[in-house]
Amino acid sequence: MTTISKIRNIAIIAHVDHGKTTLVDGMLKQSGIFRENQVVQERVMDSNDLEKERGITILAKNTSVRYQGYKINIVDTPGHSDFGGEVERVLKMVDGVLLLVDAAEGPMPQTRFVLRKALELNLVPVVVVNKIDRPDARINEVVDEVYELFFELGANDEQLEFPVVYAVARQGVATMDPDEPGQNLKPLFETIISHCPAPQGDPAAPLQLLVNNTEYDPYIGRIAIGRVWQGSIAGGQTVAVIDHEGNIKNFRVGRIYVFEGLERLEVPRASCGEIVVVSGLEDIKIGETIADKDLPVALPAITVDEPTLEMTFMVNDSPFAGQEGEHLTSRKLRARLYKEMERNVSLRVQDTDSPDVWKVAGRGELHLSILIETMRREGFELQVSKPEVIYKRGDNGQLLEPMELLLVDIPEDKMGPVMEILGNRRGEMINMGPNGPGQLRLEFKVPARGLIGFRSQLLSETRGHAVMNHTFLGYEPYKGEIKRRYQGVLIAFEAGEATFYGLYSAQDRGTLFVTPGTKVYEGMVVGEHVREQDIEVNVCKKKQLTNFRSSTAEATVKLEEPRLMSLEEALEYLSDDELLEVTPKSLRIRKKILDKNERARAKKLASVEK
């Protein structure tokens, strides 16, 4: 058992793509946990399939390294603002944070968010300026910007005395002086040990352990991950579990594990200061306290910022329902959503009047789309509505809406169009400045609903030469109506299989979303119209055969490239009267009302009511 004075608990926090997981790779390799001839993949901590595909961290993960007799427990956190809930709950496990900042980009919106949370919890920061080998690195300016950010967020004198380490995480080197090249990560290890405090707590006091994460292991069942704040916990011990309402139940602990590198090592007992994995506690939830059975005292519950975006999830009732998925029923869908809420602390699931429909709220489009993508890979079929922001009422009854801080890096010649787009979306410019030769960085305060569908429009307008980042700011008075889509859609006239001839006849009306051979049904959206109104098109139409055929009649006939959308793009594209059908194999945009006559009747009734 490692003594409490030899333990350091730290979290690595940063904006997305600033090198957190790559730095953890270097720390693991240089701590000697791998064999010399062992093949180790890059970003070894990103073990989830979606994380590997997208190159981002979605779930916070624990590991540990050994350095000169010290044990450093490390938590690798997500950098995307939509997964801020993951960051908030794991910060309750640690005493210090490594704040990574890109040497060229400097502090970004998510840097502000994660640092604010760390300072509120009085965690001790160590700043790591990463990627100092970049040709556009501006090391001194970035350090000044970090100091300014600390001042803005109200850091105390002790927190302002942070050390700065300069690193190239990809090469596994760090230095205390940017003018002197680093040889290894020894300066970083020594800074962590000297600057981050050892855990506090009395090993002889009654047990208190806060559950920060839960997982399911196919061999040992439900497991809880958390830090022992005082006392100790042993395998086979009887403990009290205090839930969110203060109810107490006694359980017998199964096994106790601690993190050693990438492995979980079983130990007979773990003392305060250690981050542990506990098995044997059925139905344990995040935020509950594992305490001494004779003196059960609860720790403060984990609180995270409320969700700002919600969608309607429902059972798939399209004509193609049940053809591609395994899990179709409302019972299975509801159970899966509520199971997700248990481990995803910033997700909210709410039943509605219909047993086949649920309201699901999260921190952003990416947060919800990752859930949908995970479910479709598990074999679920479902339908979802367009994302909607969650409004609140102020003390005086005024309608409030969530606001986002948006940073966009664009070419100088695209400034006018981008400002016009954001103006139409009720964006308010806060700051503007150069960001390298021919580049500008614009800073906006914009309603969260104004960012729905903005990414694809921005990339289209700048021909892919724009980068955007945003984070939640708070609630402000409602900014007025925002028009999201200016084009109507092409709707399939009948069920069948899309033909080359039918698509060729329809492509003059707009941009197609389907290819020849795609099965369609009446009411399914097959393209975008060039005008504002929706129209029906027959993409299943076949060419009439005759006895006469010109040898060159179809030589020049060709279809335009269809627009095939990703899940996020499809969610952004949805209108009020549309749904997205999600199956393991397909994504289909459809009208809520499939029959064209009923759709016309509903539209007429809606206009009369207005």
By residue count, the chain amounts to: 610
Rounded Cα distance between 529 and 381, Å, is 28
Residue 399 DSSP symbol: E
Q: Is 249 annotated as contributing to ligand binding?
A: no
239's enclosing H/E stretch is strand 238-242
Q: State the maximum Cα–Cα separation within the chain, in Å, rounded to a whole number.
A: 96
Label the pairing between strands 587-591 and 578-582: antiparallel
Tokens for 145, please give them. Answer: 């910007």
Closest CA to 309 of 112, 189, 508, 451: 451
Rounded Cα distance between 276 and 145, Å, is 37
Rounded Cα distance between 416 and 317, Å, is 44
Contact yes or no for 123/169 (Cβ under 8 A): no
Q: 76 - beta bridge partners?
A: 12, 61
Rounded Cα distance between 425 and 86, Å, is 29
Closest CA to 502 of 529, 536, 537, 539: 539
Q: Is 19 annotated as contributing to ligand binding?
A: yes
Question: Quick one: CA dihedral 47, 50, 52, 57, positive or negative?
Answer: negative
Q: Is 20 annotated as contributing to ligand binding?
A: yes
Rounded Cα distance between 63 and 40, Å, is 15
Q: Is 308 annotated as contributing to ligand binding?
A: no
Q: Is 480 annotated as contributing to ligand binding?
A: no
Tokens for 223, please give them. Answer: 């497991």
Q: Is 132 annotated as contributing to ligand binding?
A: yes
Q: Is 312 annotated as contributing to ligand binding?
A: no
Three-point CA angle 419, 424, 426, nearest 5° = 90
Q: Is 18 annotated as contributing to ligand binding?
A: yes
Contact yes or no for 286/212 (Cβ under 8 A): yes
DSSP annotation string for 461-507: HTTT--EEEEEEEEEEE-----------EEEESSSEE--HHHHHHHG
Q: Is 364 annotated as contributing to ligand binding?
A: no
83, with CB counted inside 10 A (0-12, 13-18, 19+), is buried
Binding-site residues from annotation for GTP: 17-22, 130-133
Binding-site residues from annotation: 17-22, 130-133
